[in-house]
Amino acid sequence: MKDMSKPLAQYSAPINLPTNSPIRAAVTASADYPFTHVEATVKLDQNESSEDFPEELKALALQRMTQQAWNRYPDLHADSLRDAIAAYEKWPADGIVVTTGSNVLIALLTQLSGIGRRVVTVAPNFALYALGARLLDVDLSEVALRPDFSLDVAALVAVIRQRAGGVVYLPQPHAPTGTLAAQQDLSEILRASSDWLTVIDEAYYQFSAADSTTLARQFPNTVLLRTFSKAWGLAGLRLGYALTTPDIARQLQKLVPPFAVSTMQTAVAQVALENPGYVIERVKRVICERERIVKALDTHPTWRAHPSAANFILIRTPDAAQAYAQLLRHGVLVRRQDSLPGLAGCIRVTIGSKDENDAFLRAAWAT
């Protein structure tokens, strides 16, 4: 097992290559994605669903796959899956772009509107917004969240207005804090960024009361990102999609490699979209367990849980390394967040099954 008592940032240092390297300097100067695999009995470190895709739906998806011709390329732009998403989301099909994970869309959106311009986001935040900008040598501005993890709207608007054009990344709910931004704050930022592409990342929206489709219809330079990895329980499928205007979708699609979404991915996602009831029930269970854990931690002598609208909880402890090690000794793996600005002492815990959550709570009080 690797030593994870150090902050993740220490495992992702840039590699120094010779000065005559054929690799762009922006790439060699960037850190790796901050993740190291660790084995544990209870895995609560990646915000995945604790429940697999239902067995009966797996069987149906496999049946669909066997009916396809595997020797033929899939749809050029995941057209049949895009139609299924359009019906589910009640969104125009020509305003949808599907890729192998919303992480890919983040990179493509930075290519689309950030290169030679700017990327603006908040700090702390999901690592890929900043990492993607640095890899493409894009001017990056990270605006600190307020102490309660709410958006500093005035500071964001000031940075946006310094120079025209670029990409603004705003997760809703926010990761890794689980905070839900006020709709009026998002509206104010969208009004101020009319010549920017504003990306609202809704990877965890099913676990909250948030849905930014009304804002996306009101402000045409908005892109919503959604994923099959979280509430749908299909992280292994690697599929995400963007909801936006047909004009933006057409330009974004140019950056997606042709035939990028496989026949197999399409079959599974279509089965999921045709049977969304299982997601609704799972989300209810996650929310119930999330509230149970937060309430239980109210009595912890030193740990404090931050209110969350996602499928994870941010917990501030006196010492993140010690808390991480204590939990891991008892077979529970969580994610350290103390290398991020403003998150000293913090760990992030995914909401798992009831048994997994019970194991976490026992380990939280253990010595």
Q: What is the CATH number assigned to the segment(s) 69-274? A: 3.40.640.10
Give the whole-number percent of the chain exceeding pLDDT 90: 89
pLDDT tens string 163-203: 889 999 999 999 999 999 999 999 999 999 999 999 999 99
Is 128 strand, coil or helix?
helix
pLDDT tens string 82-104: 999 999 999 999 999 999 999 99
Average pLDDT of span 266-292: 98
Is 143 strand, coil or helix?
strand
Q: Give the model's pLDDT for residue 5.
A: 40
Q: Give the model's pLDDT for residue 7.
A: 45
Structure tokens at 103: 């992480």
Q: Give the model's pLDDT for residue 33.
A: 83
Mark out the alpha helices in the chain (DSSP H runs): 25-28, 55-66, 79-89, 102-113, 127-135, 153-160, 183-192, 213-218, 246-253, 263-274, 277-297, 320-329, 354-365
CB 286 within 8 Å of CB 308: no
Pick from 291, 361, 278, 332: nearest CA to 51:
278
pLDDT tens string 316-346: 999 999 999 999 999 999 999 999 999 999 9
Q: Where are the domains of the chain?
A: 8-53+278-365, 69-274
Residue 182 DSSP label: P
Q: Give the model's pLDDT for residue 222.
A: 98
Q: Give the model's pLDDT for residue 6.
A: 45
The architecture CATH gives domain 8-53+278-365: Alpha-Beta Complex (3.90)
Tell me phi and psi for residue 139, to 5 degrees: -60, 125
Of the ranges 29-38, 57-66, 120-129, 289-298, which one carries the lowest mean pLDDT score? 29-38
* String of DSSP letters for 285-319: HHHHHHHHHHHHHTT-SS-EEPP-SSSEEEEE-S-
* String of DSSP letters for 145-164: PPTTS---HHHHHHHHTTSS
Q: Give the model's pLDDT for residue 337.
A: 97
My answer on whether omega of the bond before 176 falls inside 30° of 0, hence cis, is: yes
Fold agreement between 8-53+278-365 and 69-274:
no
pLDDT tens string 105-151: 999 999 999 999 999 999 999 999 999 999 999 999 999 999 999 99
Average pLDDT of span 300-314: 98
- Which pLDDT band holds residue 15 (cuts at 50, 70, 90)? low
Burial class (CB in 10 A: 0-12, 13-18, 19+), 287: middle
CB-based contacts of 125, cutoff 8 Å, min separation 6? 142, 169, 171, 174, 175
Average pLDDT of span 266-277: 98
Q: Give the model's pLDDT for residue 101.
A: 94
Reported pTM:
0.93
CA distance 344 to 338: 5
Average pLDDT of span 3-25: 59
CB 328 within 8 Å of CB 345: no
Q: Give the model's pLDDT for residue 36.
A: 84
- Pairing state between β 139-144 and 167-171: unpaired
Mean pLDDT computed over every residue of the chain: 94
pLDDT tens string 242-253: 999 999 999 999
Per DSSP, what are the bridge partners of residue 200? 170, 224
Residue 343 DSSP label: -
Q: Give the model's pLDDT for residue 1.
A: 38
